[in-house]
Amino acid sequence: MSVYKAQEAAREANDMEAYAATLHDDYQFVMHLDNSKKNKEESMEMFTFMMNSDDFVTHDSRCLYESSEAMVTHGVMSFPDGTREAVLAFHQIKDGQVIRMETGATLLP
């Protein structure tokens, strides 16, 4: 199964353990807002909070490209303050798991 399909299945089932299994132990998330970095544990805390909240919604998620080395995804996110962003994410893949993700986003009207 592709990493994207595994992550989407985990999100749909709200299965955080399955989602965490798609992330490498050395995973690093680079935030587009301030270039700060989170490790796997910190990222899973954030992802769990967001996935368990009705205030964070991802619309039209899709995979633009996936290989054994990289994946590019796109979706529109709605946030608690009413803002929406188009989010493009680059995922570096190592040993079948995401080892690094970096996002870029555009604020939508």
Give domain limits for the chain. Answer: 3-108
Span 29-67, pLDDT tens digits: 999 889 999 999 999 999 999 989 989 999 999 999 999
Span 1-34, pLDDT tens digits: 899 999 999 999 999 999 999 999 999 999 988 9
What DSSP state is assigned to residue 1? -
Locate 102 and state its tokens. Answer: 């970096």
CATH fold group of domain 3-108: Nuclear Transport Factor 2; Chain: A, (3.10.450)
Instruction: Give the residue from 76, 66, 52 showing the smallest Cα distance to 22.
Output: 66
Question: Could you give the angle at the alpha carbon of 94 between the alpha carbons of 88 and 98, nearest 5°?
Answer: 40
Instruction: Give the residue from 72, 74, 47, 78 showing the smallest Cα distance to 60.
Output: 74
**Cross-strand pairs, 84:** 78, 108
